[in-house]
A and B are shown apart, each in its own frame.
Chain A
Amino acid sequence: GQNIDQPTEMTATEGAIVQINCTYQTSGFNGLFWYQQHAGEAPTFLSYNVLDGLEEKGRFSSFLSRSKGYSYLLLKELQMKDSASYLCAVKDSNYQLIWGAGTKLIIKP
Chain B
Amino acid sequence: DTEVTQTPKHLVMGMTNKKSLKCEQHMGHRAMYWYKQKAKKPPELMFVYSYEKLSINESVPSRFSPECPNSSLLNLHLHALQPEDSALYLCASSQDLGRGTTEAFFGQGTRLTVV
Residues of A within 8 A of B (CB): 30-31, 33, 40-45, 48, 87, 89, 95-97, 99-102, 104
Contact A48 B101, beta carbon cutoff 8 Å: yes
In Å, the complex CA distance between A78 and B111 comes to 30
Q: List B73-112 residues whose CB lies under 8 Å from chain A.
A: 88, 90, 97-101, 103-109, 111
In Å, the complex CA distance between A99 and B37 comes to 11
Count B-side interface residues using an 8 Å CB cutoff.
22
Contact B42 A99, beta carbon cutoff 8 Å: yes
- When distances are taken between beta carbons in the complex, the residues of chain A under 8 Å from B97 are 95
Beyond the given A89-B42, A99-B42, please list 15 additional residue pairs across the A-B interface where CB-CB is below 8 A.
A31-B100, A33-B103, A42-B106, A43-B90, A43-B106, A45-B104, A48-B101, A48-B103, A87-B43, A95-B99, A97-B45, A97-B104, A100-B42, A102-B42, A104-B40
What's the minimum C-beta distance from A95 to chain B, rounded to whole angstroms?
Answer: 5
Interface of B is mostly: loop
Contact B99 A30, beta carbon cutoff 8 Å: yes
Contact A96 B105, beta carbon cutoff 8 Å: no
